[in-house]
Structure 1
Amino acid sequence: MLEDLVDPALPMAEQNARLRAILAALMDRAERGQMPSRPMGQLSHVVALEQQVRARTRDLAETLDKLRMTHARLSQAERDAVSARNSLVDALEAMGEGFAMFDARDCLTLWNSQFCAALPDIRAQLSAGLPFRDYVRMVSDSDEIDLTTATERREWSLKRLQSHTRRNANFTVPLIGDHWLQVSEQRMISGGTAVIQTDVTAMVRTGRLEREKLLDEQAQMVRATLDHIDQAVLIFDAKARLAGWNRRLREVFAPPSALLASGTPFAQVLNDLMRRRQLGRGNIRQLLTDWVNGPAFRPSLALDIVQEDGTELHLSAQAMPDRGFVISFNDLTAERRAIAEMHRLNETLEARVQARTVELVAARDAAERANASKSRFVASASHDLLQPLNAAKLFLSSLAALKNTPTQTRLIDRVQSAFTSVEDILGALLDLSKFDIGAARARVDTVPLGPLFARLRDEFQPMADRRGLDLVVMPCALNVQSDPVYLKRILQNLVSNALRYTERGRVLLGARRCGPDLRLEVLDTGPGIPPDKQAEIFKEFTRLNPNAETGMGLGLAIVEQACALLEHPLSLRSRPGHGTVFSLRVPLAPDPVALPPQRPAPETQPGLLSDMLVLVIENDATSRRALMGKLEDWGASPIEAASLADARVQITELGLAPDVIMADHQLDGGATGLQAIAALRAEHGEIPAILVTADHGPALAEQAETAGVLLMTKPLALHRLRRVLQQTPQLRGAQIKHFTQATPGDHSFWLRPED
């Protein structure tokens, strides 16, 4: 159809003109076909077209503005890029070192005028896009590299390419004319490589001079060392010519000055020494000559020489790797004379040692006797000091039970508090004495922590309430292997110490598992212990705060020694102002065999001891009267006796065996309470018995346990004694037989668990 309208043979300009005419006719026809016939409609159509033209003109103007702004920004970015590149080039030129950059494809992209400046034949061949491998080949073939053979150049090229595979590489390239170039390669984040070349010729030459200077200084040091040693030294080179000597050689042999010259043959030196009889007599000349002429790796030679004046020399000849050798002479005269004198003195030393041994044995025997005397004194002091203290405590308890005025009650409380303090201090001193003399013995057994923690909570709760502190005792149903007496004493001292020094907050006692052990911890919120004082607090009579509550500073000393005795590691963690934690590790024990359930214990009511016959065997009249009075206050009917014979008389007169026996361990005439209890049981049956003693040692406790006797130490704990006596009626009859079947440490037949 188009061929019918436009003749293809016509010129292109005429064809375009015809097409434009046809297009204009078509557009006019189309507009006329859409235009309304009425004039008003035509006007509206013209207005709409004008608005569309204006909107499109406005959009076209905005687009042109944006295009101009974008073009301006693009031009600025190009200028900035050119400026940055120029700045980079200027910076690289200002470096003073050769710099080049290869891209991630290992092609050269950028370099400064200093790069390869030391290699002018390479500098002219650098061009953008040069591969790194070609660059290395060009450098290896350069005439400026100090590599002589083709093999050396090929090996250098391979090593250079191999080092290029690493992230960082540094090496030095030797140049002709004693010049050196250091090359450093750094891999960039983009994957390209930065190469820096630095001329280190001055540095290498300076280092070489320093090494030469160091060698000269070392030679001087060797010379100074030779001159300051006590041995006379001769040094010969591989041709047996004199190469060195020291000042001591002149002092020992006084050779002629002409002899001591570099290059003097060994034979000439040896002849001079033999001529002047400096090497003694014998075949020394032949021995030295044969050794010097021997093989290169000959063994050392050692000779003893005695000069005519009695001077003793030790000659030592040592070969060197370069076939040279060193001969030294050591003057042993003073040493040999000292040895002779030592032998002479040794002859009399044995007699002196024997005499001294006799003296030491006598001193040891005296020390053992003194130690035994000290042990007896401690035992005696325990009884003599605690006996009146126990009596006074009993009298005070009886006095407190009377009707007293408020003033009298306060006075009695203060006296009781004072006696309690004396009791604590005295107990601590006696414990320390046992540790000092080695009398302390541990009896390891299974200890359940539940009852022990409960007793400690009941014991220290009043003290915590009095100081306004929270005492937290975490429950624990586990058992440990330890001595029950010493373990309780350790925890008592730690809890008491924490309560004494803590002003506000809380004190916590608990246990944590630690592998096969259990870590017992006492934590407080007190002032803490400075690091420089943490070792000092375990010393005796040491208190960090003398203004705190009363005490002699013995508690932690006892804790440390008791832990060492029991092999329970003790540790301390503390920060000033953040409190303190004492902890000890105790081995866990298997769970004990379950005991048969016990009947509920009777309530503690006054008068429950009515009509109970208590036989009191006590040789000290004051203590006996005090205990009798206390028992009467509790409603019991005590019978007093000063000895076993008196007890038998009292029982015979009454015609009735006592309900319970309370016997002091130390009686008159060397008799003991255990003996008295055994005799009365043999005559009247298995009577419940309590042994009262001031001996806190484990030996007596073991004897009492074996005999089925409950042991209570002085001063007596009155509340515990009353609970024990209240349970005595339950033991009459068949139940008394249980004590013979009890396991060690098990007093369930005798006491409630909390006792």
Structure 2
Amino acid sequence: MAEPLPRAATLPPRRWRRLGLALLLAALIGALMVLAATQAQRRAERVAGERAQEQLRLYAGALQSFIERYRRLPSVLALDAELRAALRGEPDAAQRAALSRKLEEVNGLALTSTLTLIDRQGRGLAASNWRSPRSNVGVDYSFRPYFLQARREGSGRFYGIGITTGVPGYFLAQAVRDEDGSFLGAVVVKIVLAELESEWAGNHDIVLVSDEHGVVLLSNRSPWRYRELRSPSAAEREERARSQQYAGLTPQPLNRDRVARDYLWRSLALPGEHWQLHLLHARGDIAAAGRSAALASGASLTGLLFLLLFVQQRRRLLQLQKRSRAELEELVRQNAQALRSAQDAVVAAAQQAAQGQVRSLEHLPQGVSVIDAELRLVSWNRRYAEIFRYPPELLRVGRPIEELLRYNAARGLLGVRDLEAEIHKRLQHLRAGAPYTFEREWADGTVLEMRGNPLPGGGFVTAYADITSYKAAARELRELAGVLERRVAQRTEDLAQARGEAERANRAKTRFVAAAVHDLLQPLNAARLYLSALQARLREPETQRVAANIEEALSAQDAILTSLLDISRIESGAIAAEIRDFALQPLFETLAREFSILAQARGLSLRVRATRAIVRSDEALLRRILQNLLSNALRYTRKGGVLLACRREGGQWRIEVWDTGIGIAEHQREEIFEEFRRLDRGGEAGAGLGLAIVERIARRLGHRLSLRSQPGRGSVFALRLPAGESPAPAAVAQVAAGGSSLQQRRIWCIDDDARVREATRELLQGWGCVVRLAAGAEQALALQASEPAPELLLLDHRLGDGEGWQLFDRLAPQWPKPPAVIVISGDQDEALLARWRERGWAYLGKPVKPAALRALIGSLLRRAV
């Protein structure tokens, strides 16, 4: 029996035609799906490229803002007179250590990596990392490009790996020049950019920064770092080796062709640094968009095919009996449901794509919003909603930005001016498409920095950063810098030229000036100790009177310097006012002696009326108020005189300072209490701080300050303060000069200032003490090996080779009994004072008053017996 033929061979011609038609339709659908996928990939690539450019602009702004934060720091330090003086001469080890400590303090405040002072030969003279085993001090940097650029052009920049620390960073250098323009050396700041890499790490795209030679310096993916984007020339290889840019590392080439196949690559130039910023977006997302488009087009074409078959079937069914219509209607319903399901899938895919765009902004620390050319919201991130506290239902794609502006206006975020005009102005600015940067402060004190840039093809992207804390810190630093400017005129003159350009370096400037005041206190301290030793040797009344006047002048001078440091601490609440009841007459007598000579020199009369007033206040702070008022009155009085008096006013006392000066106009009476406000009143030029200090102290003490003035006739400053009760007589123990209580007592003085050591020796030997001196650890250890243990130790807190407590801990184990310790320092930090109290040590602030020193020494030695 013959085998039957295959079933396919028995198909009728009609079935063959249907099969051929189905294959043709399938091929057509496949071709259309490929075309749709190709178009979708191109569109996704274009959109991804535009989004990449937007992100590159944001990254570029963040990178340049980060670098600008430190760019002016070396320029400010290059103006410092002490650094110039060190570069002119040959500083000894102690001077270099003092310079390194200063750079260390500035570096800690500015949050940079290192600060280095380089001499004209290119060798590190001082550095902020001078305590580290890998210190920059003494290292030759003459071959580094930033030093060569600074010597040649005045400033330099360079990215490389540190030759001592091994840490990569960006070096900014500024030449230090003498008055004649000759090159003395350079100040170099090193910035570590790892913070930016950490911020970029959350982005799923790859972010690169390459230098002018095509070497990747920064990346949010560590394997991409130090890769070559192009082959270097022979000259570039030679320069790289000469400058030791990568300190032993060899950058590896990157196969850009292979990377281009896997990633969409977009770049943006950073002309300020001669760098390029790159963003690599994985093409897998673009391919996924193509696949989604292909599936969507396939589903649509399949639905269309079903529709065609349905029409054909309907024509046939019209010829059939009515009983088949119910089945046909059911088939129509099922096909319609299939079409709706396919359309729902397309909508869901589009929504997921939109969500993906939003997630691409979530890693940014700033709030970001994007609007299209019709000023409608396109995308945003969570930080944007948090900053403006928008309700979730308000933010949606397509919402006009005008509605958000009106919502903000209703909450008072646009100010109190004409709201319609403000909204119209903002809309016009967005339509104009011009870049902008500005700051706005809200009623609750929040300060926002807003940066806007137009997008290609229309639209706008805006970044919002909360800079409230930075602004508050800047205001505080400006206030402290203003207080210190009066007593350090030369340094203020140098720094004032750069102050407008160095807002970001104010914290370092404040500490720098504070160190300068500390340096001014050192010679004053030595002068007072020398004077006290001299007074013990004087016998003639006239010379004793002159010495007493000198002592009063030095006392007034150190009180003023100390007050400059204390005012800012009082303002912040760090120092509490010591309120007590005291008689006002002794203070008036002191002020009369202090200012009578100045008044006589100006040809003016100074009258101080006697008073029996008992007031409740802080005596030291009240004295500073009256000193400033009297000094101000004498400065602006050309003829006549000044009167200081006090009178009862109900339950208070009213202290008044009258002058016969030229007076103050009505519109200027509030301005004179502002910092740095110098009015043209015909007197001597001042820093404009005296009355600002008066106003702050009076406000801190709760004393009401008032002013009456008549132009051409004079002014009256009045201070109201509460009345006090008569204090009980206090017994004051005094040790007679030349007594025997300190005879042959062994005392060591450890201080890195030679003038202070010699003055202390003169003073203590005049009291009969056996004195030994040491400048630091080396001399102190040598004394310990050859001398008996001291009974008392005068210890400076800041020594050239460390801190005083560290040296004491090295010395104490070798002594049978630890000596009593008096710490002598200009630092008044509460944490330090607490640490010294825990050790049982006494403290005296610089400049030291000899009477207080002698009383404290006697007390400690008697306690130790």
Category of TM-score, reference length = shorter chain: 0.3 to 0.5
> Normalized against structure 1, the TM-score is what?
0.39
In terms of Rg, which structure is larger?
1
Which structure carries more relative contact order (alpha carbon 8 Å, separation 6+)? Answer: 2
| TM-score, scaled relative to structure 2 | 0.35
